[in-house]
């Protein structure tokens, strides 16, 4: 299982998918807070920076918690305590814990959705009713009405 998640054929598509999702998230947030003119350029910049930093870690050959490659051409050509080594270790550690936190958060959200579906199914209400009640309780109305 560890070799599946530590392979380039898995890490590259995940980097692209993650970049797309983060770009879309930034686009929606900026559009929501009325910065529509900045939404597209900033979301493209976020996509490029996210994917570039992940690909840099993948192809650098640096042994980090995010990705461990046996032999790296760039890492062998740099001196031992080069700033690139230090930054790669820092970014690799960040992405490692970022991915763990993201997996846990998505698991909790998924379990929450499943519980709301079971509540709706057992109470005979249309699917999504429990989630709508929870959203209305936690978040104010989007149109400004009470």
Using one digit for the tens of pLDDT, what is the confidence trace for 54-84?
A: 888 777 766 666 666 555 444 455 556 667 7
**Are 146 and 92 found together in one domain?**
yes
Q: Rounded to two decimals, what is the model's pTM?
A: 0.61
Query: For residue 73, what pLDDT is reported?
Result: 47
Say if residue 42 is in the same domain as residue 106: no
Q: 């042994």: which residue's tokens?
A: 63
**Domain contains 125:** yes
Number of domains in the chain: 2
Kindly state whether residue 67 falls inside one of the protein's structural domains. Answer: no
pLDDT tier at 1 (50, 70, 90 boundaries)? very low
DSSP string for 76-89: HHS-TT-HHHHHHH
The residue segments making up the domain with residue 80 are 76-146
Same domain, 17 and 47: yes
Query: What is the rounded CA–CA span in Å between residue 109 and residue 5?
Result: 22
> Do residue 96 and residue 139 come from a single domain?
yes
| % of the chain residues with pLDDT over 70 | 75
If one compares 86 and 112, the residue with the highest pLDDT of the two is 112
């Amino acid at each position: 299982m560890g070799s599946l998640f530590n392979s380039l054929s898995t890490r590259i598509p995940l980097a692209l998918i993650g970049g797309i999702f983060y770009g879309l998230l930034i686009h929606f947030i900026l559009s929501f807070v009325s910065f529509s003119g900045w939404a597209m350029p900033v979301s493209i910049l976020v996509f490029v920076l996210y994917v570039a930093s992940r690909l840099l870690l993948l192809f650098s050959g640096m042994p980090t918690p995010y990705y461990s490659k046996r032999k790296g051409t760039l890492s062998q050509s740099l001196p031992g305590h080069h700033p690139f080594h230090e930054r790669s270790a820092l970014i690799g550690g960040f992405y490692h814990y970022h991915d763990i936190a993201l997996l846990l958060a998505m698991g909790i959200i998924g379990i929450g959705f499943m519980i709301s579906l079971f509540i709706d199914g057992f109470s005979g209400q249309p699917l999504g009713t429990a989630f709508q009640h929870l959203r209305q309780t936690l978040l104010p109305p989007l149109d400004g009405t009470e």
